[in-house]
Every structure is written in C-alpha cells, then in structure tokens.
Amino acid sequence: MPHLIRNRWVQLVLGIVCMIMIANLQYGWTLFVLPIDQAHKWGTKAIQIAFTIFVVTETWLVPFEGYLIDRFGPRPTVFAGGLLIGASWLINGYADSLTMLYIGAAVGGTGGGIIYGATIGNAAKWFPDRRGLASGLTAAGFGAGSAITIVPISLWIAANGYQSAFITFGAVQGIVVVLVSLLLTPPPHVDRVTAIARGPQFRPAEVLKHPVFWLMYVMFVMVGAGGLMATAQLAVIAQDYGVAKQPVTLLGLTLPALTFALSLDRVLNGLTRPFFGWVSDQIGREITMFIAFGLEAFGIYALVAWAHDPVSFVIISGLVFFAWGEIYSLFPATCTDIFGAQYATTNYGMLYTAKGTAALLVPLSSVLRDATGSWQGVFLICAAVNALAALLAIFALRPMRQRRQRMQLVASPAE
C-alpha cells in the first residue's frame, strides 16, 4: 500500500479528487444566490459580495499558504483546507446575516486556496517531465469538477432548501478532502532531488526581483480578465443579444442557447487545461501560449459579428472558454520551469494572485457597455489585449526565458 501511494499517478488522481471537491465553492455558487435572496431579501448585489470575498481570499492568500505547503508538505495543509471548506458551507447554511455569509465566504476562500495551491504544487513536483499535463489535469478538476454535482445540488435545493444543500454537500466535500489528504505525499527523497535539481531553485523573494515574473503576471491579468468577464457577463450578453432563450440543437441535444452555452463552456473550460498543458510539453510553453491566446482573441472578436445568432453564440462562447481555461495549466508549468520546483507552490501562489487582480477589472466591462450602449467596444478591447498577450509570449517571454537559461548554463560549473 505505501508503494502504491507513492506512485506519482496515484498522487495526481488524489489531487484531482481534492480539486473536484472545491469546484462547487466557485462554480456552484450561482445556484444559491436566488434562493438566499428569496429567503432573506438581502438583494443579489449584496449577496454577490460574498463571491468577491471568496475569489479574493482564494487567490491573494495563496502565496502565504504556499509557504506553509512548501515547508510542511501537502498532507497537513490540505487536511486543514478540508476542515475549512467544510466549515465554510456549514456557516453558509446557518447564516442569518450578510456578515455571517461573508465570513463563510472568507473561510471557504482560505481553504480552497490552500487545496488549490497544494495540489498544483504537488503535481508540478511529481511530474518534472510532464509538468504541463499534470498541472492541466489537476486544474481541470477545479474547472469542470462542479459538472458532477450541479444537478444533484439543484435537485437538493428544490426538494430540501438551500440551507440543507449547504450543510449536506459542505460536510461531504470537507470529509472527502480530509480523508484524501491523509494519502498525499511529496516525492520521496531520491525523486525529489531529481525533480528539483534541474537548475537553480529560486526563493520567493528572489522571484519577485526578476522581470520575467512580472511579465508573466501582466500576461496572466490580460488573458484572465477577458475570460472572467465572459464568465461573469455571459448571461447578460445573451440577454442583450436576444438569444438567451432561443432553442439551439447541437449534438442531438436541444436547449435554450444560454443553458447550452453554460453547459458546454464548463466542459470545455475543464478539457482545455490538460489538453494545452500536454501540448506545451510537446512544443513549448510560449508557442502554446501564442496559439491559445490568439485563439481567444479570435473567439472574442467573433462575438462582435455572430453573437446575435443563437447557434453561433453557443459555439463561439465555447471557443472562448476553451482558449481561456488553459492559463491555469500553462502559467504554473512555466513558472516552475523557470524558477524551479523546490518553492513551486509559493512562487506560483504569487503569480496566481493575478486572477484576483483580473477579477477587479471585470466590473469595467459593465461600465464600458453602459457608456457605449453595446458590447462591441468591450469585445474589441478584450480581443486586442489577448492578441497582445499572444505576441508577448513569443517576442518577450520566450527571449527572456532563453537568456536566463543561457546565463544559468554559463554560471553552472561543468559536470
């Protein structure tokens, strides 16, 4: 049994299971907003502040949590994260005030960030040879994990109320993570040396001094903002274009365009992470970024011309999400490639805060839409920003990384 647990593919699967258990904290939240408002009359805007608190705590605390993960390993930290995510939904279930709801969001964001950082970091350390694929598969659990439980949670809310759903599913999710955490382990000593000894191992303070880190941070924000805008505004966009309730038939299924788009987008947002991660292992990180970010730019630009057609809206929105979700596999893999695996969790945690920064830019899309009266300006700006990020990957990030590699070879003593 110990030999089986130390198999890196088993460790990868365990990490994916943990990611699936925290997916509902972000992607299942939308199911609870209206029932909470109907029960307490707090207003959806006030309730959605809880979601913002979750995203901020889930991203901005990861560097500090990553330090603890790198120091103490994934087992005790993920164990603590499991207790926190279980407690967060129990708090939500009993919340009788907005303050209590916000506390639950902060607790869940903290626990979710620990689990996210630990599983991504552990995958990067176990798979130095397939870092993109391993990071992508792990991140896919978060991107598509809620697809397994969305229907059961919806039915549970309808039959038993949202409070019961919070308490029941929160307990299950927390217990599963706690149990799985007992089996998590970093690479054994020999494998760990092999994994981390390929080049210098940069400490977080050293990483912050390198321009390549800040270039990746800016690129992460640029691409992340467009995808988060699409996530947050897709329903509004569909309504404004008049396609939300129009029936669409694809792959033998007939659903309203918005419902079809949301379902397809969630699946593609999960599939893209291991796919582009695997591609980047084969052809290189920056070339893959150029392809994916360019595809994202095309998809967003295509919405300008074809979003009014329900079938086109579903297909193009799927393309947008397929070309966006890969940032959660490409950036952790690239960060670990450049700065080493020893402090991978902390270093990527610092880079991952770019998601929180990008989220702060999303409301500007509504401001621009209200100012211009259409989504055309928003789409054009997002497309241009993604195209610029694609060019930066090839003409800035790639040369900077190659120069750093040459400098490391010169500085390293001959073997």
Q: Tens digits of per-residue pLDDT, 84-122?
A: 999 999 999 999 999 999 999 999 999 999 999 999 989
pLDDT attached to residue 189: 57
Check if the beta carbon of residue 376 is closer than 8 Å to that of residue 304: yes
Instruction: Rank 78-92, 190-204, 230-244 by mean pLDDT and report only the highest.
Output: 78-92
What mean pLDDT is predicted for residues 117-135?
90
pLDDT attached to residue 247: 92
- Lowest mean pLDDT, pick from 17-26, 172-181, 183-192: 183-192
Check if the beta carbon of residue 101 is closer than 8 Å to that of residue 52: no
Phi/psi at 342 (5° precision): -60, -40
Check if the beta carbon of residue 300 is closer than 8 Å to that of residue 383: yes
Same fold, 2-196 and 204-411: yes
pLDDT tens digits along 330-346? 999 999 889 988 888 88
Is domain 2-196 in CATH 2.40.30.110, yes or no? no
Give the amino acid at 232. Answer: A
pLDDT attached to residue 193: 41
pLDDT attached to residue 238: 84
pLDDT attached to residue 190: 40
Distance between CA 359 and CA 43 in Å, rounded? 21
pLDDT attached to residue 194: 44
pLDDT attached to residue 378: 87
pLDDT attached to residue 102: 95
User: Is a pLDDT exceeding 80 seen at residue 157?
Assistant: yes
Provide, rounded to the nearest whole percent, the portion of the chain with pLDDT above 70: 94
Instruction: Rank 57-66, 124-133, 212-221, 299-308 by mean pLDDT and report only the highest.
Output: 212-221
Provide, rounded to the nearest whole percent, the portion of the chain with pLDDT above 90: 50
Distance between CA 24 and CA 162 in Å, rounded? 14
What mean pLDDT is predicted for residues 395-404?
90
Q: Indicate the average pLDDT of the chain.
A: 88
User: Is a pLDDT exceeding 70 seen at residue 54?
Assistant: yes
If we measure between CA atoms, which residue out of 20, 60, 15, 106 comes closest to residue 349?
60
Domain definitions of the chain by residue range: 2-196, 204-411
- CATH code assigned to 204-411: 1.20.1250.20
Q: Can you give the pTM of this predicted structure?
A: 0.81
